[in-house]
Structure 1
Amino acid sequence: MLTAIFTDLHANREAVSACLAHAEQRGAQRHAFLGDLVGYGADPAWVVDTVMAHARDGAIVVMGNHDAAVIDDPGKNMNPNARAVVEWTRSRLNAGQLAFLASLPLTVESGDCLFVHASAAEPRRWEYITGTVEAVRSMHATRQRLTFCGHVHQPALYNLSLTGKISSFVPAGDSSIPLSTQRRWLVIPGSAGQPRDGNPAACYALYDDVTHDLTFLRVPYDVDAAAGKILAAGLPQQLGRRLEAGL
C-alpha cells in the first residue's frame, strides 16, 4: 500500500490542498497526518474538516502539540506568536472540530510502522528530534521498524543498523530511498504547512510498504495567498513572512 504522510499542516489551506492533490496524482492509497493540524495559519477549520473527512475514510491521525494547546493549554514553552494563534484558533473552531482534536491519540501503530508527532520516547513531552541522540532514543522506545514523525519542520532520515550504528540523511528536493528491512528507520517528512529549511515549497512523503521505498517530495503552492490570509486575519505578520522565506 502506498501511504502519503503529512505533518505540521498548520492551518495552511493552500499548502495542504496542493499536497493532497499531488499525492492523489501519485496514486496514494492511504493517508497519515502526524499532528499540528492547526496553529500559525489562517484556515484551521478547513484543515481540521479536511483531515476529519480523511479519518472517516481510514486515515491515520495523531495529535500534535499545537492541537493539544488549542484544546487544553499552550504551556509555558510556547512562544508568544504561537500562543496568540492558539487563542485565535480556538475561537474559530466549532464543538465538533474541537472534539476531534481532543480525541486524537499520541501514537498509532500500523504493521511495522509507528506514527507520532514528536519523539516516541515520551510523546507528550514534544521533544524535537534534531540529531542522532534524540533519534536513537525515539527508535529504542518502540518495537516498530519504522517511525514516522514531525515537529521539527525539516525533512530528515535516520537509520539504525543491527549493530547499533546510527546514521542520518537530509534529503534535497524530491528524493527516493529504499529502506532496507535489515535496519530501523526514523522518517521526518518535513512540514506541509510551514517548511523551515529555507525552501518555501510544502513537504510530504510517500511510503510503499510492499517495495519499502520512501520518497520525500516538495510541492510548490500559492505562498502569497497563504501569507496574505495570515495578515488579513490580524495574526502576527512574522508568520506570513516565515512562509515566504521557508524559515
Structure 2
Amino acid sequence: MLIAVLSDIHGNARALKACLGHARERGAQGYVFLGDYISDGAYPQRTMEQVYDCAARYDCRFIRGNREEYMLDYRAGKISGWQDGSSTGSLLYTYENLTARDLDWFQSLEIAGRESFPGSPPLFYCHGSPWAVGGRLEQGDPVAKEKLGELPEKYILCGHTHRLGSWFSGLFERGCQQVVRAGSVGIPLSTPGKAQMLFLHSVEGDMPRWRPEYALVPYDLEGAVRDLEESGLLERGRVWTAMVRHALITGENMVGLLPPYAQALYERDCGRKAPYQEIPEEYWQRAALAYRCETAC
C-alpha cells in the first residue's frame, strides 16, 4: 500500500497541484493531510478547491494546523485587530478570501488523528505535536520523549517544521517509535522550486512496517511568486509576504530572524517589549533593510 502525506501547503496552489499530480502518477491509495492548508500564499480558493476535490475523489484523512486555528480564532473574536501591514496583513488577506464553508470545514477537523490501514501498523499523525497544534517534535527534547511514550503507535507523522526527515524515540529493545516529518508542500525550506511531500510504503511480513520515501516535486515557482505580486498580497502583507517570497526563491527561512530583530529595534527605541503583531511598520521596514529582504513588487 502507498500513502501520500502532504503538509504545510500554505496556499501555494501551484505546488499542491504538482504534488497531487505526482501522487496520482505514483498510484497513491490513500492521502493524509497534516494541516496549514492556507495563509502566506495567494488566492486561497485555488488551494481549497483542490483540497475539496481530493477529498471527494480519494481516500483522505485531514487534520488542521495552527494557521487554520488562527482563522477560527479570528472568526470567534478570540483575536482581533488584524489590518494591512507586515504584522497581520497576510492573515487578513487570507481570512477575507475564505468562505463560510472553508471555516466550517476547518472547525470540523481535529488537531491529530489515528489510522490503521489494512495490513499495516497503526499511524498517529499531527500537525506540530500531539499536545499542541503549534508545537514541535524535536529529537532529544525530554518533553517530546515523554509525550511520545504515552502513544501506543510506533509511527508518528508530523509537519510544521517545513523540513523532511525522521528520527527515533525510545529504546530499541522496547520497540522504538519513528517520528517522520512530511516537509512542506507550499514553503519548502532548503529545496527552492521543489515542493516537499512524503510517501509511506507498507512493507508486509512477519513484522509489518512503514518505509518512508521523501519526494521533491518540481512546480511552477515563477508562477507562485507572480501570484504573490499580482494578487495584491505583497502590497497588503508587506515584509511578511516578502519573507515568504524570499523563502520560495531561495529556500531560506527569515521568520526566525527578521521578526525578532524588528522586535529588538522596537524595544531599544521604546523601552518595552511587544509581540510582533503590535510592532509598527517602521520597525519591520528597518529589519527588512538590515536583512536585505526586498519588499517591492
Q: Distance in 1 between matches of 2:167 and 2:2?
A: 21
Q: Distance in 1 between matches of 2:168 and 2:220?
A: 34
Matched-pair contact (CA < 8 Å) for 1:63–1:101: yes
Q: Which residue of 2 aligns with 1:132?
A: 140
Deviation at residue 83 of structure 1 after TM alignment: 2.9
Q: Which residue of 2 aligns with 1:18?
A: 18
Q: Distance in 1 between matches of 2:173 and 2:10?
A: 35
Structure 2 residue 124 is matched with structure 1 residue 114: yes
Deviations, residues 142-167 of structure 1 (Å, cap 9, x unaligned): 221111110010112011353589xx
Q: Distance in 1 between matches of 2:11 and 2:70?
A: 14
User: What root-mean-square deviation, in Å, do the aligned CA atoms of Structure 1 and Structure 2 show?
Assistant: 2.4
Q: Which residue of 2 aligns with 1:40?
A: 40
Tell me the amino acid that sits aligned with residue 42 of structure 1: A
Q: Which residue of 1 aligns with 2:195?
A: 202
Q: Which residue of 2 aligns with 1:69?
A: 70
Alignment partner of 1:238: what SS?
helix
Matched-pair contact (CA < 8 Å) for 1:148–1:186: yes
Structure 2 residue 152 is matched with structure 1 residue 143: yes
Q: Distance in 1 between matches of 2:35 and 2:6?
A: 8
Matched-pair contact (CA < 8 Å) for 1:139–1:186: no
Matched-pair contact (CA < 8 Å) for 1:39–1:86: yes
Distance 1:164 1:138, change over 3 A: farther
Structure having the higher helix fraction is: 2
Give the TM-score normalised by the residue count of structure 1.
0.83
Q: Which structure is richer in relative contact order (CA contacts within 8 A, separation 6 or more)?
A: 1
Decide which of 172, 182, 192 is 1:189's aligned counterpart: 182
Deviation at residue 127 of structure 1 after TM alignment: 1.1
Which structure 2 residue ranges, 5 or more long, are not aligned? 117-121, 205-209, 234-240, 253-297
Decide which of 136, 151, 155 is 2:164's aligned counterpart: 155
Deviations, residues 15-55 of structure 1 (Å, cap 9, x unaligned): 11111111111111111110000011013112122222323
Alignment partner of 2:196: what SS?
strand
Decide which of 103, 106, 110 is 2:108's aligned counterpart: 103
Q: Larger Rg: 1 or 2? A: 2
Alignment partner of 2:20: what SS?
helix
Deviation at residue 115 of structure 1 after TM alignment: 1.3
Distance 1:138 1:198, change over 3 A: farther
Q: Which residue of 1 aligns with 2:255?
A: none
Which structure 1 residue ranges, 5 or more long, are not aligned? 166-181
Tell me the amino acid that sits aligned with residue 63 of structure 1: R
